[in-house]
Chain A
């Protein structure tokens, strides 16, 4: 072989070896908050897209800081975050849901937040709790969400319903009346599939039940939980709710046609209905979750967390402060209609005056968070399975939850 070919071969192999090792870390000391630096931020879905505009405003006010926002899709978010955590390459600031936060805090990938700067009393309790793990706060609540009852007011008139159902018994009656008046299904709740537990929470929490207590005891088959699941599955048995729903089902479509008269939805459904079905405006309303023992809904939303590997922790914290103080939160609400996690933002403007916002606020105040268990996804998958079995009438609610209970006991971490 001549020399040139040998050189080429060596070059090629060296190049490939370099590419493979090029992802080495660049560890170093942390940078002061006012030094010139670039913050990397990851946010999911719509938030990821809108956050870039906020970042631009922030850069104007803080010329030394460059904020680089990367929007990532929810469908790939988990995978990307895990890969980044494994490679010690998490961004400085990242958006995280409650279940993610527990998981990554458990991995040791997150930096506890400074509770002097961010104070618990400024946020909805359910929002704050989502950022806690093992007694420490790892996330600052950014926006919150919960579920309330959406119902068709025009169809209610025809069905002879004069007010929003206030109790679980009234909810059932309303569903029957709607159906008699021509709706295919009185209520839409999820009978099977991933995260059906999210529509079950409203029934479970309102009945006074829960899956795992805060101090780590499985109570999935408590009499209250059984009663809640019996109530939930009775809608399928009586034909008041669809017995099978495919992945990717969009309830607003059926709500628009009147095929579905009521459903439990999040704040984003208001925007979806207004944008996609402008003709429906004025024909629907929202109400608090009907009371069983109490009216309690699930709490969702996202927190902002700082990576434990970040070299820009000080600046990251200032950026988060900008996003989560009362002013930043009102601004964010204007842009996205995401519900502010900071209660002080609710004291003025549309948030204080709009009657719909009042519904969200009262629901949010009593909304409940799932306990921070690292295996929460696996735990709720057992409840999903129980819901599915009971919804199809394969086993009784009690038997389904008994089975789930024994499986969940082995998954709890104390």
Chain B
């Protein structure tokens, strides 16, 4: 405040005696500055236009056509089919299954990721003093590991005959289920894998959030005799709300788009039980070349993500009041 007020006053003082002439000069230099601004942003705008805006618009247009492989070289020959792709989607059992599976992934995966992320962050932030770095790296490592390596490890863990869990089962006398081959277990297995992979990101953000909470607040609470639970509920969670909101929103968006886990582990099987919307879209678009149909899927997914994000932002905001 104290620094901005004088500046404003000074600029006002300069402006006051200005006559038309000075004003015009100023206007001209403003125009020049605008030009420079435009020039400097041109590279970005050009790239954004070509690689973001154009595909977004093209996808929308394509979703109203029957664009297929024949149109790869003759895009203008695609026929306009109106809303046909969209109406077809809602009678497509496979797509509805994919929607259900994706919802399952989000409903189970998001609370798990956020809950465990918070737990790990609190433990790492307060508890273990000595091996803190070790644990932070350990929990973060999955985030920076490529999905191919992750898949190899998890296939080994989940393999029904030679796998880690199956081996453990042999030792302890239980039969491990065929995780990826069973319709009941395949999805939970993939969720587990996704949670493991995303925990690191959430954890790092939460540790940052936790460290932003002033220690005085905690100390005051402890002096007033608050228990650990009370401290978590009344201090940590409310003060962490912005971080919680942010991580929940990005995790939800990420899980609504889930693709890599089913793609490398199950390819949507068994019996479409791990087919997600993104994977279905990939199959329709790039394996079967039903580009128009896949584009319509993309837009349905976009609208769903948008609606859920807006809803989350609303709900979390109302809670603070």
Q: Spell out A's residues near B (CB within 8 Å).
A: 1, 5-6, 9-10, 12-13, 16-17, 20, 78-79, 82, 85-86, 88, 103, 106-109, 192-194, 243-248, 374-375, 377-378, 381, 385, 388-389, 392, 394
Residue B271 CB within 8 A of the other chain: yes
Q: Which residue of B lies closest to A102 (CB)?
A: B69
Query: Across the two chains, which residue of chain B brings its CB closest to A103?
Result: B69
Q: Is B227 an interface residue (CB 8 A)?
A: no
A6 and B32 CA atoms in complex are apart in Å by 10
B39 adjacent to chain A (CB < 8 Å) = yes
Task: Name the distance in Å between B165's Cβ and chain A's nearest Cβ.
Answer: 14
16 contacts between A and B (CB under 8 A): A1-B32, A12-B42, A13-B39, A20-B50, A78-B286, A193-B267, A243-B178, A243-B181, A246-B266, A374-B69, A377-B287, A377-B288, A378-B288, A378-B290, A381-B283, A392-B270
What separation, in Å, do the CA atoms of A12 and B46 have in the docked complex?
Answer: 11
With A103-B69, A244-B181 given, is the CB distance from A16 to B42 under 8 Å?
Answer: yes
> In the complex the two chains form, what is the Cα distance from A108 to B78 in whole Å?
15
Chain B residues within an 8 Å CB radius of A16: 42-43, 46-47
Interface size on B, residues (CB 8 A): 37
Nearest 8 CB-CB pairs, A to B?
A244-B181, A9-B39, A13-B42, A378-B288, A16-B43, A1-B36, A86-B72, A192-B269
Q: Does B321 touch A at the CB level, under 8 Å?
A: no
Docked CA distance A12–B45 (Å): 12
B270 touches A192 (CB 8 A): yes
CA distance A118 to B35 in the complex (A): 63
- Min CB–CB distance B212 → chain A (angstroms): 38
Decide if B180 touches A388 in the complex (CB within 8 Å).
no
CB-CB nearest in chain A for B290: A378
The smallest beta-carbon distance between A236 and chain B, in angstroms, is 11
| Residue B10, interface by CB 8 Å | no
Q: Is B314 an interface residue (CB 8 A)?
A: no
Expressed in whole angstroms, the Cα–Cα distance for A13 and B41 within the complex equals: 8
B269 touching A193, Cβ below 8 Å: yes
Known: A375-B288, A388-B269. 14 other contacts (CB 8 A): A6-B39, A79-B286, A86-B72, A107-B72, A108-B74, A109-B73, A192-B271, A243-B178, A244-B270, A247-B265, A248-B155, A375-B289, A385-B271, A385-B272
Bound-state CA distance A78–B270 (Å) is: 25
Docked complex Cα distance between A20 and B45 (Å): 12
Q: Given contacts A86-B72, A88-B73, A377-B287, is CB(A5)–CB(B271) below 8 Å?
A: no
B40 touches A244 (CB 8 A): no
Distance of A351 from chain B, by nearest CB (Å): 36
Interface residues of B in 52-104 (CB under 8 A from A): 69-70, 72-74
Q: List residues of chain B with CB within 8 A of the CB of A378.
A: 287-288, 290
Q: What residues of chain B lie closer than 8 Å to A107, measured between beta carbons? A: 69-70, 72-73
Closest CB of chain A to B164's CB: distance in Å? 14
Q: A247 to B180, alpha carbons, bound, how many Å?
A: 10
Q: Does B167 contact A (CB under 8 A)?
A: no
- Asked if B209 is at the interface (CB within 8 A of a chain A CB), the reply is no
CB of B260 within 8 Å of the partner chain? no
Contact status B40-A9, CB under 8 Å: yes
A15: nearest residue on chain B (CB-CB)? B43
Q: Is the CB of B43 within 8 A of A244?
A: no
Closest A-chain residue to B272, C-beta based?
A: A385
Cα A385 to Cα B264 in complex, Å, equals 18
User: In the complex, are the beta carbons of B73 and A86 less than 8 A apart?
Assistant: yes
Specify which chain B residues have a CB less than 8 angstroms from the CB of A389 in the assembled complex: 271
- Cβ of B184 within 8 Å of any chain A Cβ, yes or no, is no
A244 touches B160 (CB 8 A): yes
Give the docked Cα–Cα distance between A194 and B267 (Å).
7
A108 to B74 CA separation, bound complex (whole angstroms): 9
Q: Are A106 and B70 in contact (CB under 8 A)?
A: yes
CB atoms of B39 and A10 under 8 A apart: yes
Q: Give chain B residues whose Cβ lies under 8 Å from the Cβ of A374.
A: 69-70
B residues 179-236 in Cβ contact with A at 8 Å: 180-182
Which residues of chain A are within 8 angstroms of B182 by Cβ–Cβ distance?
A: 244
Q: Which of B154-176 contact A (CB under 8 A)?
A: 155, 159-160
B133 lies within 8 A of chain A by Cβ: no
| Min CB gap B274→A, angstroms | 12
A109–B70 CA distance with the chains assembled, in angstroms: 10
B159 contacts which chain A residues (CB < 8 A)? 246
Cα(A1)–Cα(B266), bound, Å: 58
Rounded to whole angstroms, the CA-CA distance of A262 and B296 in the bound complex is 45
How many angstroms between the C-alpha atoms of A88 and B159 in the bound complex?
A: 45
Most interface-central of A6, A108, A244 (chain B CB within 10 A): A244
Q: Which residues of B contact A82 (CB under 8 A)?
A: 69, 72
A388 touches B271 (CB 8 A): yes
Determine whether the beta carbon of B286 is less than 8 Å from that of A392.
Answer: no
Please pick, from A9, A13, A109, A246, the residue contacting B155 in the complex, using a CB distance under 8 A.
Answer: A246
A392 touches B39 (CB 8 A): no
- CA distance in complex: A248, B263 (Å): 12
- Bound CA–CA A10/B42 (angstroms): 9
A103–B69 CA distance with the chains assembled, in angstroms:
7
Q: Which residues of A contact B69 (CB under 8 A)?
A: 82, 103, 106-107, 374
CB-CB under 8 A from B72, the residues of chain A are 82, 85-86, 107, 109
| B270: chain A residues within 8 A (beta carbon) | 192, 244, 388, 392
CA distance A261 to B60 in the complex (A): 53
Per the 8 Å Cβ criterion, residues 252-307 of B in contact with A are 264-267, 269-272, 283, 286-290
A16 to B287, CA, bound (A): 33
- What distance in Å separates the Cβ of A72 from its nearest Cβ neighbour in chain B? 16
CA of A142 to CA of B69, assembled, Å: 25
Q: Is the CB of B266 within 8 A of A247?
A: yes
Looking across the interface, which residue of chain A has its beta carbon closest to that of B94? A385
B263 to nearest A CB, angstroms? Answer: 9
Q: Is the CB of A6 within 8 A of B181?
A: no
Chain A residue numbers with a CB within 8 Å of B265 are: 246-247
Residues of B contacting A1 with CB < 8 Å?
Answer: 32-33, 36
User: In residues 13-43 of chain B, which contact A (Cβ within 8 Å)?
Assistant: 32-33, 35-36, 39-40, 42-43
A193 to B275, CA, bound (A): 12
Chain B contacts for A108, CB-based, 8 A: 70, 73-74
| B-chain residues with CB within 8 Å of residue A6 when the two chains form the complex | 35-36, 39
Bound-state CA distance A263–B290 (Å) is 35
Question: How many angstroms between the C-alpha atoms of A244 and B158 in the bound complex?
Answer: 13
In the complex formed, the residue of A with least CB distance to B284 is: A378
Chain A residues lying within 8 Å of B267, measured Cβ to Cβ, are 193-194, 247
